[in-house]
């Protein structure tokens, strides 16, 4: 393994928790009503699942749960309304394309009357509640579906010291057939099959490629499931709220401005989606590092680990080429609009491939003290 930023030794020091304990913990987390505490518990649970899957599949390659814990930690910033407010003022000052047309439009109608950035900010702030709710709902939706499956898979399919295809077959039979967009779990069946094959091979390169294929198929399933939530969050009704405020404020001319305001609404809606992806959305990583989703995935020591540099797995290559037209580089991986599935997947497949053997991803998302507070049902102090 070429990344030396951390150690995975702790993953195999002791057996993971019993299945009944894991399932009880998952159920308790799903039942939590406080979205902030629930997200923190989901994030910590993904760490447990990540370690358990690494133990039974491969400790040298990050599995989907490994990435999910950092995505969930990032989601927590939006759920707690930490991410958007700290950037939105500079964001709107910089993006005069949003504020200037509004000011100019109202000035042209009403002479000296001006609304300026504060009113735009009010509209943005009003959307934050909806954004936070959508992110929290998506966080719960994915965890509720996938966490029990990972627990069952690790304990039932991978419990035997020798890979048994009959155990895999019985597990896959319980999954719902069909595509993810229709409620099916065919992609998950393929993913768990690739994980099983990875566990069964002694070839490190083949194992790495099979884990990557499994990760990408689960990622596609997850992102398909999340599409409605992401649409609602990224395409938040900033423009609609702003126009409502303007119409109410200038009710005397509401009829006269209705058509121009609809045009303005469309323009601001486009700006918001681009701005949110470009400036606001970042993936939190270990040690306080972040990756901006609107920029290319940055390389570590090199763009891809040696085992995933030149790919041999035909099924994996075919899957990656659906979203990434140049498999030799991370250039072009940036998501222009995170609300589009193809944009997200282009970024995600490159992220998974470039970071799959980064040992730092297996680290704890919270400090020992924060985990203790969280397990006691209290919101941890300090930066989360």
Higher pLDDT, 81 or 195: 195
Give, to the nearest 10 degrees, the angle between helix 64-79 and helix 341-355: 120
Give residue 381's pLDDT.
Answer: 79
- 52 vs 15: CA distance, rounded Å: 8
What is the band of 343 on the pLDDT scale with cuts at 50, 70, 90? very high
Higher pLDDT pick, 325 / 115: 325
| Nearest of 219, 234, 212 to residue 317 by alpha carbon | 212
Across the chain, mean pLDDT equals: 82
**pLDDT, mean of residues 158-185:** 92
Helix H or strand E encompassing 226: helix 204-234
Contact in structure between 250 and 110 (CB atoms under 8 Å): yes
pLDDT level of residue 294 (50, 70, 90 thresholds): confident
Categorize the per-residue pLDDT at 116 as very low, low, confident or very high, splitting at 50, 70 and 90: very low
Structure tokens at 30: 């799903």
Radius of gyration, alpha carbons of the chain: 23
Q: In whole angstroms, give the CA distance from residue 39 to residue 32.
A: 9
- 124: pLDDT strictly greater than 70: no
pLDDT at 380: 87
pLDDT band at 237 (very low <50, low <70, confident <90, very high): low
The pLDDT of residue 127 is 66
Residue 21 has pLDDT above 70, yes or no: yes
pLDDT tier at 2, thresholds 50, 70, 90:
very low
Q: Please compute the mean of the pLDDT values over residues 193-220 and round it to a whole number.
A: 97
**Is residue 11 scored above 70 in pLDDT?**
no
Q: What is the mean pLDDT of residues 191-208?
A: 96
Taking the CB of residue 329, how many other CB atoms lie within 10 A of it?
13
Stretch 172-185: mean pLDDT: 96
Distance CA 285, CA 291 (A): 8
| Residue 208 pLDDT level (bands cut at 50, 70, 90) | very high
pLDDT at 16: 60
Q: Please report the pLDDT score of residue 259 as a whole number.
A: 62
Give me the residue label for tokens 């035997």: 160
Report the alpha-carbon distance of residue 40 to residue 52 in Å, rounded: 19
Bigger pLDDT: 261 or 347?
A: 347
């Amino acid at each position: 393994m070429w990344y030396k930023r951390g150690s995975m030794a702790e993953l195999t020091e002791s057996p993971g928790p019993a299945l009944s304990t894991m399932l009880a913990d998952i159920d308790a987390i799903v039942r939590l009503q406080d979205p902030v505490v629930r997200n923190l518990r989901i994030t910590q649970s993904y760490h447990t699942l990540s370690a358990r899957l690494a133990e039974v599949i491969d400790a040298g390659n990050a599995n989907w749960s490994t990435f999910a814990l950092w995505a969930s930690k990032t989601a927590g910033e939006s759920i707690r309304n930490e991410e958007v407010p700290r950037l939105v003022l500079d964001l709107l000052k910089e993006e005069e394309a949003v504020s200037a047309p509004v000011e100019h439009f109202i000035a042209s109608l009403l002479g000296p009357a001006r609304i300026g950035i504060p009113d735009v900010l009010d509209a943005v702030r009003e959307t934050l509640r909806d954004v936070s709710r959508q992110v929290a709902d998506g966080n719960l939706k994915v965890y509720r579906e996938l966490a029990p499956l990972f627990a069952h898979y690790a304990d039932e399919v991978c419990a035997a010291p020798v890979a048994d295809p009959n155990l895999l077959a019985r597990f896959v039979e319980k999954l719902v057939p069909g595509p993810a967009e229709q409620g099916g779990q065919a992609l998950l069946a393929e993913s768990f099959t690739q994980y099983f094959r990875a566990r069964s091979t002694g070839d490190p390169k083949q194992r790495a490629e099979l884990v990557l294929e499994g990760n990408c198929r689960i990622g596609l399933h997850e992102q398909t499931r999340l599409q409605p939530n992401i649409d609602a969050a990224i395409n938040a009704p900033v423009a609609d709220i702003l126009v409502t405020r303007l119409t109410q404020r200038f009710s005397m001319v509401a009829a006269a401005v209705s058509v121009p305001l609809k045009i303005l609404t469309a323009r601001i809606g486009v700006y918001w989606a681009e701005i949110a992806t470009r400036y606001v959305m970042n993936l939190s990583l270990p040690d306080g590092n972040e990756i901006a989703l609107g920029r290319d995935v940055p390389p570590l020591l090199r763009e891809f680990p040696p085992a995933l540099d030149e790919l041999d797995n035909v099924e994996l290559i075919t899957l990656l080429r659906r979203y990434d037209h140049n498999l030799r580089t991370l250039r072009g991986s940036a998501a222009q609009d995170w609300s589009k599935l193809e944009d997200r997947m282009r970024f995600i497949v490159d992220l998974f491939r470039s970071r799959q053997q980064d040992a730092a991803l297996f680290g704890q998302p919270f400090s020992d003290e924060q985990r203790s507070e969280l397990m006691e049902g209290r919101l941890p102090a300090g930066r989360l």
